[in-house]
């Protein structure tokens, strides 16, 4: 009995010693140390390459949550994301006003959905109902939809039906679009082998895409809406405009309170030309933007300065001066105000 007691006690002692040798805690520690080096280096690298605080140029004003939510909900609806929009309105609870947008745009997306399955009926109906306004805007959308329908009928191989369709629908467009109609008539010759004919390009699905775009564009136009979602346009402008502002803020350290109350951005922000909606004239001499009180003036040489610059250089009209661009003599009374 005693010897077995000694046995297992020595086994236990052996076990304890083995554990101390293997030292699992040290192994864990070692592995963690290695990992820790990387865990410290990575965020440091991130902070060096990327801008760690992009809210430096943020003004501490409260954005009115209902307004922002309405803008977002309207955006979802005009982009056709009806399910997301509805879910959002339920969760946000202060964007009910955007529901009007939903009813407006549902019609558009029903038409687009139908067109995806090559059904042109809703689009034809809408185009017919709005035919006059479309013509006023100079859009040939209605003809283009007829065009697609015509090719579709022809593809099915029924030449007579296509001809009948053409007779019913193309006549009213003959005045302005004769060339196009003639082309379509030419297709009749190849009704069963369009894909081999010189008109094969008419079968391309890109035609459908073009008409889809034009339909969307005209739909928005007639509703008095912009083509681009105003929210995505503003955000895109923000993404372009934010880097120069942040750069300025790194220089402007300690003057944050000045930034909070400025009336105009302190640095110029050059956006892509799709964001240029208004003419902005900047006087080349003073680098200031023209205003109603200080309009741009055309000099006799064809160059343009703002009124205040001309007054200054001509000493309030008392003498002639040389244009800073070309050495022409300028008489300030001959300068004309420009309206862009």
Is 87 or 178 the residue whose CB approaches another protein more closely?
A: 87
- The verdict on 250 binding another protein (CB under 8 A) reads no
CB of 317 to another protein, least distance (A): 19
Query: Residue 262 phi/psi, 5° resolution?
Result: -70, 145
- Report the candidate in 277, 280, 290 with the shortest Cα–Cα distance to residue 234: 277
Task: Name which of 191 and 332 has its Cβ closer to another protein.
Answer: 332
Give whichever of 2 and 318 is closer to another protein, judged by the CB atom. 2
Report in angstroms how near the CB of residue 70 gets to another protein at its nearest.
6
How near is the Cβ of 37 to another protein at its closest, in Å? 8
Are 89 and 117 in contact by the 8 Å Cβ rule? The answer is: no
Q: Is residue 129 a contact residue for another protein (CB under 8 A)? A: no
Which DSSP symbol is given to 52? S
Segment 279-308, which members bind another protein (CB under 8 A)? 279-282, 284, 287, 289, 291, 298, 301-304
Query: Using the rule CB under 8 A, which residue among 2, 3, 38, 206 binds another protein?
Result: 38
Q: Please state the closest distance from residue 6 (CB atom) to another protein, in A.
A: 11
DSSP 19-41: HHHH-HHHHHHHHHHHHHHHHHH
DSSP-derived letter for residue 318 is T
Element at 191 (helix H, strand E): none
Residue 281, classed as helix, strand or coil, is coil
Residue number, 57 or 187, with CB nearest to another protein:
57
Does position 112 interact with another protein (CB under 8 A)? The reply is no
Token representation of residue 21 = 């040798």
325 contacts another protein (rule: CB under 8 A): yes
Shortest Å distance, C-beta 82 to another protein = 11
Min dist. Cβ of residue 167 to another protein (A): 32
The nearer residue to another protein, 169 or 332, going by C-beta atoms, is 332
Spatial contact of 95 and 69, defined as CB atoms under 8 Å apart: yes
Sign of CA dihedral 72, 76, 82, 84: negative
Which of residues 2, 3, 50, 206 is near another protein by CB under 8 A? 50
Smallest distance from another protein to CB 184, Å: 27
Calculate the CA 187 to chain-centre distance.
39
Contact by Cβ (8 Å): 189, 196: no
Least distance to another protein, CB of residue 168, Å: 32
Whole-number Å distance between alpha carbons of 23 and 17: 10
The single residue among 2, 3, 55, 318 that binds another protein, judged by CB under 8 A, is: 55
Cβ closest to another protein, residue 131 vs residue 232: 232
Candidate list 121, 228, 258, 329; residue touching another protein; CB under 8 A: 228
Helix (H) or strand (E) holding 321: strand 321-322
163 closest CA partner among 186, 144, 143, 145:
186
């Amino acid at each position: 009995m005693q010897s077995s007691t000694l046995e297992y006690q020595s086994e236990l002692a052996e076990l304890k010693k083995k554990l101390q040798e293997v030292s699992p805690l040290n192994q864990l520690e070692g592995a963690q140390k290695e990992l820790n080096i990387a865990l410290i280096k990575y965020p440091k690298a991130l902070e060096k390459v990327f801008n760690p605080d992009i809210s430096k140029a943020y003004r501490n004003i409260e954005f009115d949550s209902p307004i922002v939510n309405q803008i977002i909900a309207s955006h979802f609806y005009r982009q056709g994301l009806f399910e997301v929009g509805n879910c959002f309105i339920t969760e946000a609870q202060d964007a009910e006003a955007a529901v009007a947008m939903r009813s407006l745009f549902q019609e558009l997306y029903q038409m687009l959905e139908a067109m995806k399955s090559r059904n042109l009926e809703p689009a034809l109906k809408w185009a017919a109902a709005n035919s006059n306004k479309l013509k006023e805007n100079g859009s040939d959308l209605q003809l283009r939809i007829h065009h697609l329908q015509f090719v579709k009928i022809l593809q099915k191989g029924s030449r007579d039906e296509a001809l009948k369709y053409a007779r019913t629908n193309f006549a009213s467009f003959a005045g302005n679009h004769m060339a196009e109609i003639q082309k379509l008539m030419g297709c009749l010759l190849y009704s069963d082998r369009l894909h081999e004919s010189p008109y094969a390009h008419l079968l391309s699905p890109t035609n459908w895409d073009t008409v889809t775009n034009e339909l969307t564009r005209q739909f928005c136009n007639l509703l008095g809406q912009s083509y681009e979602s105003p929210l995505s346009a503003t955000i895109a402008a923000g993404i372009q405009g934010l880097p120069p502002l942040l750069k300025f803020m790194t220089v402007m350290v300690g003057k944050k309170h000045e930034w909070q109350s400025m009336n105009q951005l302190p640095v110029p922000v050059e956006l892509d030309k799709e964001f240029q909606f208004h003419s902005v004239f900047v006087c080349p001499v003073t680098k200031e933007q023209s205003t109603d009180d200080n309009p741009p003036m055309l000099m006799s040489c064809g160059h343009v300065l703002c009124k205040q610059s001309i007054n200054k250089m001509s000493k309030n009209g008392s003498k002639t001066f040389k244009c800073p661009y070309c050495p022409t003599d300028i008489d300030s009374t001959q300068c004309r105000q420009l309206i862009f």
